[in-house]
Amino acid sequence: MSRDNGKFPNDRHGWAELLPQRRPQPALTGAHRVPWTVVGAGITGLASARRLAGLYPNEEILLLDARTVGQGASGRSSGFAVAVSHFGGGFEADQVDLYRRINRINQAGLDLLRGQVAESAIDCQWHEDGFFHTAADRMAIEECEHFLRYLEALEIAHTPLDAEVLNARMGTSLYRTGVHLPMGALLQPAALVRGLANNLPANVMLHEQSPVLGIANGGPLTLSLPNAEVQTDKLVLATNYEATKLGFLRRRLIGSTLSGSFTRALSDEELAGLGSLREWGSLSLHGGGATVRLTRDRRLCLRNAAEYHGGVLLSDALLARRQTIHRAGFEKRFPNLAHVPFEYAWSGVEGISRNSTNFFGRQRDNIYLAGGYNGSGISRGTAFGTAIAEYASGNHSQLIGDCLVSAPGTWIPPRPFLDIAASFTVRSRFRRVDLDR
């Protein structure tokens, strides 16, 4: 456990636990005056700082993170950089423009990430061969039919798969039907975030374990930190669901806590019995279904628990309890590997809105915000982070336009009604999940 500043503890129960130890950049101290500050060094903040550095090569860009890099939400996802989003429910012809707009944003982010990973030779297990969307029970099978209609209507490349083919490729007989989409990348999320942070332009100054505790309006803006004060002309908030701690989106965005487990590395014999593929990812077509991966380093990873937990990570005790849910989902899919133990468990928090929208634009004078990706933050966060830097600089592009027309977030009631509504919203995802969990 690294230094705990109270609201923003570090917790090595995550993908970072699979990586070597890393020395963080020092916390910010003293008084500073800069033209640009980005708060949040996850996917969105890193993309924003990188783009600002390119737009203003002779100016210092200050990048602050409350934790160490890779310990926030960006380093705790399941590692899917999505190109094509799945919109639950029946295909709606009058929503085609929305479908296309979201997918353009996804693709823009994927393209940007691909270039950055290649340019900086980031070792994050980048594997761009798409992934599976799978269904085991009636509700998910019905959703598969809706998904296929959507893919066909938008002329998106895909391959429908039956149970036999899915079993042959993935090594599990649980799924009865599914679809393979060739677009999209799998990756090790903590390694990606670390790699992006380690290869920032020279004029980006990164400081970790440097939480912003308050923002005072004025020209310039004044940011208060535990041991520092920053005066900045413009501010980009890339803190996702934690924007609420700074007074933004308090009735529009909440954090849902997810959890999953990794096995130890599989042996040659265990791997040989799994199927023909040696690396793959599966997203359930049920909104509350499991996300499953076989990683490049031979681990099976399964995430099948989500809950409203006040937007914080699970304690060790709660995480141990959730492992019984992870274990049941794992053995249901891989009964022949029931002897394989879990080696790590992790939890992470995703920012969700009641109407599944994203947030992008100016919040106050000289304060800009991008976030709220509802579980699709790797590619979309990259696109939003790049676009918010350009938008705050007065630029115009199709990407900025696509991000700007995000629907307003639906109002969320205050506590104690917030807790009730949030818990209900998260639990409703698991309605009739059955075999797909």
Residues 6+ apart with CB under 8 A from 376: 82, 85, 106
Whole-angstrom Cα distance, residue 248 to residue 97? 29
Do 196 and 116 contact (CB within 8 A), yes or no? yes
For residue 412, name the pLDDT band (cuts at 50, 70, 90): confident
Whether the predicted pLDDT of 424 surpasses 80: no
pLDDT of residue 430: 60
For residue 421, name the pLDDT band (cuts at 50, 70, 90): low
pLDDT of residue 354: 78
Between 397 and 7, the more confident residue is 397
Whether the predicted pLDDT of 184 surpasses 70: yes
Range scoring the smallest mean pLDDT among 37-41, 48-52, 412-416:
412-416
pLDDT of residue 291: 97
pLDDT of residue 1: 27
Do 76 and 241 contact (CB within 8 A), yes or no? no
Range scoring the smallest mean pLDDT among 26-35, 164-173, 230-239, 356-365:
356-365
For residue 425, name the pLDDT band (cuts at 50, 70, 90): low
- Type and span of the H or E element at 369: strand 367-371
Two structure tokens written together for 25: 């950049």
Whether the predicted pLDDT of 169 surpasses 60: yes
352-364: b (≥16 Cβ within 10 Å) or e: bbbebbbbbeebe
Whether the predicted pLDDT of 5 surpasses 60: no
For residue 239, name the pLDDT band (cuts at 50, 70, 90): very high
Do 15 and 186 contact (CB within 8 A), yes or no? no
For residue 429, name the pLDDT band (cuts at 50, 70, 90): low
Domain boundaries, the chain: 15-76+190-253+356-406
> Which residue, 218, 252, 223, is CA-closest to 40?
223
Range scoring the smallest mean pLDDT among 132-136, 369-373, 382-386:
369-373
What amino acid occupies position 211? P
Alpha-carbon distance values, 11 to 75, 123, 197, 237 (Å): 11, 22, 19, 23
pLDDT of residue 4: 39
pLDDT of residue 159: 98
Q: Is the peptide bond before 416 cis (omega within 30 degrees of 0)?
A: yes
Two structure tokens written together for 108: 């823009």
For residue 353, name the pLDDT band (cuts at 50, 70, 90): confident
φ, ψ of residue 175 in degrees (nearest 5): -80, 135
Whether the predicted pLDDT of 121 surpasses 90: yes
> Which residue, 428, 29, 47, 13, is CA-closest to 224?
29
**pTM of this structure:** 0.94
Do 290 and 304 contact (CB within 8 A), yes or no? yes
Whole-angstrom Cα distance, residue 224 to residue 222? 7
Q: Which CATH class name applies to 15-76+190-253+356-406?
A: alpha beta
pLDDT of residue 426: 64
Mean pLDDT of 86-103: 95
Whether the predicted pLDDT of 136 surpasses 70: yes
Mean pLDDT of 123-147: 97
Whole-angstrom Cα distance, residue 140 to residue 217? 49
Mean pLDDT of 164-190: 98
For residue 119, name the pLDDT band (cuts at 50, 70, 90): very high
Whether the predicted pLDDT of 77 surpasses 80: yes
